[in-house]
């Protein structure tokens, strides 16, 4: 049966796409990078078209895949923070370049670009 496990992967391009592919992974990493640290609710507000379920699920995948660090504060109300790991930090240059490529293309096609307002401290 379908080995979902990445161990049997062959091509590096394939491997990389499996790790950061998916509908929201790129954007999540990018937003966290821009803010250094984000809480669950903040992320949800940044990525407006994601549901609670998908956000939770994707965050878990990224965490299990060692691309996100999750810190839970044992408080009431709860507080959970997400940060990049060293591995995902090493991925940022790529995402950024891809983003610049996207901007170039979008300008060519006159597609309005929504910049994510990084709450730069």
Partner DNA sequence: CCGCATCCACGATGATACTG
Partner DNA sequence: CAGTATCATCGTGGATGCGG
Residues found near a copy of itself in the complex (CB under 8 A) = 6-7, 9-17, 19-23, 26-27, 30, 87, 90-91, 93-95, 97-106, 111-114, 116
Q: For DNA, which is the closer residue by CB, 15 or 100?
A: 15
If one asks whether residue 83 binds DNA (CB under 7 A), the answer comes out as no
DSSP 11-65: -HHHHHHHHH-SSSHHHHHHHHHHHSEEEHHHHHHHSTT--HHHHHHHHHHHHHT
Q: For a copy of itself, which is the closer residue by CB, 76 or 113?
A: 113
Q: For DNA, which is the closer residue by CB, 80 or 95?
A: 80
Per partner kind, with CB cut-offs from 5 to 8 A, the member of a copy of itself, DNA, none near residue 54 is DNA
Per partner kind, with CB cut-offs from 5 to 8 A, the member of a copy of itself, DNA, none near residue 113 is a copy of itself
- Contact with DNA (CB under 7 A) among 26, 54, 69, 85: 54
**What is the distance between the alpha carbons of residues 35 and 43, in angstroms, rounded to a whole number?**
10
Q: By CB neighbour count within 10 A (0-12 exposed, 13-18 middle, 19+ buried), where does 44 fall?
A: middle
CA distances from 21 to 16, 97, 114, 121 (A): 8, 16, 21, 29
Per partner kind, with CB cut-offs from 5 to 8 A, the member of DNA, a copy of itself, none near residue 53 is DNA
Largest CA distance in the chain: 49
């Amino acid at each position: 049966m379908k080995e979902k496990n990445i161990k049997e992967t062959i091509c590096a391009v394939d491997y990389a796409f499996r790790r950061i592919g998916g509908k929201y992974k790129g954007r999540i990493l990018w937003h966290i990078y821009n803010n250094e640290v984000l809480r669950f609710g903040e992320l949800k507000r940044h990525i407006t078209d994601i549901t609670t379920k998908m956000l939770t699920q994707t965050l878990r995948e990224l965490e299990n895949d060692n691309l996100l660090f999750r810190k839970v504060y044992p408080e009431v109300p709860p507080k959970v923070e997400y940060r990049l790991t060293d591995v995902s930090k090493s991925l940022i240059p790529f995402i950024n370049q891809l983003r610049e490529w996207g901007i170039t293309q979008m300008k060519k096609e006159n597609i309005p670009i929504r910049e994510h307002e990084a709450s730069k401290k």
